[in-house]
Amino acid sequence: MATSSTPFPLQKTNYLSKDFLTLREELLAKLPLITKGKWSNLNESDPGIAMLETFFSAVDNLLFYIDMQGQELDLDRARQRVDVIRLLRLIGYEMRGVSASQGTVTIQVSPSENPNYPVTVQQGTQCTAQGDAGALTFSTTESVSLVGPMDSKTVPIFQGTNNTTTFISDGTPTQKFLINTSNVDKTTVRITVDEDPTNTVTTETWALVDSFYSSESADTNYKVQIDEYARVYIVFGDGQFGYIPAQNAIIYASFIQTDGANGNVGQNAISRISSGVPLVQDSKGNKVNLSVINSEATAGGSDVENIEEAKTTALGLLFGLNRAISRGDYEALMESIPSVTKAVAWGENEEQNPDYRLLNLVRVCFFSEAFADMYFNPASRASYRSLRDNQIRTLLTKKMPISSRLVFVDPQFVDIFVNLDVGVDTTQYDPNIVLDQVRFNILNYYNISNVVFGQDVRISSILSLANAVDGVSWAKVTRLYTTPPNLPPDTAPNPPLDLVLEKWKLPTFADNTTSVTPTLPTTVLAPYLQGLTPVSYNIGQNDITVVNPDSQSDILVGSFNYFPGPNLQHISISYTAMTDEPSPQGGYFGHPNPETDFTTYSSLE
DSSP string, 493-550: -SS--PBPPPTTEEEE------S--PPPPS----TTS--PPPSS--TT----B---TT
Kindly state whether residues 426 and 494 are assigned to the same domain: yes
- pLDDT bracket for residue 9 (50, 70, 90): low
What integer is the mean pLDDT of 489-509? 89
Average pLDDT over residues 61-79: 86
Question: How confident is the model over 208-224, as pLDDT tens digits?
Answer: 998 898 899 999 999 99
C-alpha R_g of the chain? 33
Q: What is the pLDDT of residue 222?
A: 96
Average pLDDT of the segment spanning 108-114: 90
Same structural domain for residues 61 and 171? no
Q: Is 363 in contact with 411 (CB distance < 8 Å)?
A: no
Contact between 408 and 540 (Cβ < 8 Å): no
pLDDT digits (tens, 9 = 90+) for 187-203: 899 999 998 877 766 78
Are 368 and 460 members of one domain? no
Q: What tens digit of pLDDT does each residue of 431-488 get?
A: 888 888 898 899 889 988 889 999 999 999 999 999 999 888 888 999 999 888 877 7
Percent of the chain's residues with pLDDT above 90: 29
User: Do 424 and 497 fall into the same domain?
Assistant: yes
Task: Please state, in angstroms and rounded to a whole number, the distance separating the CA atoms of residues 46 and 58.
Answer: 19
The pLDDT tens digits for 396-432 are 988 888 888 888 888 888 888 899 988 888 888 888 8
Q: Assess whether 499 and 443 both reside in one domain.
A: yes
DSSP state of 388: I
Q: Give the pLDDT confidence score for residue 314 in this predicted structure.
A: 85
Question: How many separate domains does the chain show?
Answer: 5
Per the CB < 8 A criterion, the answer to whether 591 and 576 are in contact is: no
- pLDDT score at 16: 66
**Tens digit of pLDDT for each residue in 344-393?**
999 888 876 666 677 888 889 999 888 877 777 777 788 888 888 888 99
**Looking at 70-84, 103-117, 354-368, 586-600, which range is the least confident one?**
586-600
Last residue of a domain, one of 408, 434, 461: 408
Question: Which domain does 122 fall in, by range?
Answer: 102-160+262-293
| 551, 359, 414, 464 alpha-carbon torsion, rounded to 10° | -160
Strand-pairing partners, residue 273, are 127
Q: 205 and 331, same structural domain?
A: no
CA distance 579 to 573: 19
pLDDT of residue 535 exceeding 70: no
Q: What is the pLDDT of residue 20?
A: 81
Check residue 155 and give its pLDDT: 92
CATH of the domain at 404: 3.30.300
Q: Residue 40: its pLDDT value, please?
A: 74
The reply to whether 29 falls in a domain is yes
Residue 243 is predicted with a pLDDT of 94
Looking from the CA of 385 toward its CB, the CA atoms found within 13 Å total 23
Asked if residue 520 belongs to a domain, the reply is no
Q: Is the same domain home to 205 and 232?
A: yes
What CATH number does residue 153 fall under? 2.40.30
Q: Determine the residue type at 417.
A: F
pLDDT digits (tens, 9 = 90+) for 17-59: 677 888 788 878 778 777 877 787 778 888 888 888 888 888 8
Q: Which of 506, 525, 548, 531 is closest to 362 using CA atoms?
A: 548
| pLDDT over 50 at 537, yes or no | no
> What is the pLDDT at residue 276?
82
Query: Are 240 and 268 found together in one domain?
Result: no
Does residue 283 share a domain with residue 152?
yes
Q: Which helix (H) or strand (E) holds 49?
A: helix 47-71
The yes-or-no verdict on residue 544 having pLDDT over 60 is no
Looking at the fold, whether 330 and 376 belong to one and the same domain comes out as yes
Is the pLDDT higher at 594 or at 278? 278
**Residue 366 confidence (pLDDT):** 93
C-alpha distances (whole Å) from 355 to each of 6, 111, 408, 454, 530 are 82, 56, 18, 21, 12
pLDDT reported for residue 15: 63
Provide the β-strand partners of residue 498: none
Distance, CA of 152 to CA of 145 (rounded, Å): 9
H or E segment to which residue 424 belongs? strand 417-425
Q: Place 14 in a pLDDT band, splitting at 50, 70 and 90.
A: low
**Position 64 in a domain:** yes
- Assigned domain for 302 exists: no
Could you tell me if residue 561 is inside a domain? Answer: no
| Domain contains 140 | yes
Question: Tens digit of pLDDT for each residue in 268-294?
Answer: 889 888 888 888 999 888 989 999 988
Determine, yes or no, domain membership for 109.
Answer: yes
- pLDDT band with cut points at 50, 70 and 90 for residue 536: very low
**Rounded to whole angstroms, how far apart are CA atoms 128 and 269?**
9
CA–CA gap between residue 526 and residue 504 (Å, rounded): 12
Report pLDDT for 572: 82
Verify that 60 and 141 share a domain, yes or no. no
Q: How far is the C-alpha of 537 from the C-alpha of 448, rounded, in Å?
A: 24
User: Which of residues 358, 382, 408 is at a domain's end?
Assistant: 408
Mean predicted lDDT score pLDDT of the chain: 79
- Considering the domain boundaries, does residue 419 fall inside one? yes
**570 and 463 in a common domain:** yes
Lowest average pLDDT, out of 170-179, 295-304, 536-545, goes to: 536-545
Q: Helix crossing, 20-34 with 47-71: angle to 10°?
A: 130
Q: Is the per-residue pLDDT at 332 higher than 60? A: yes
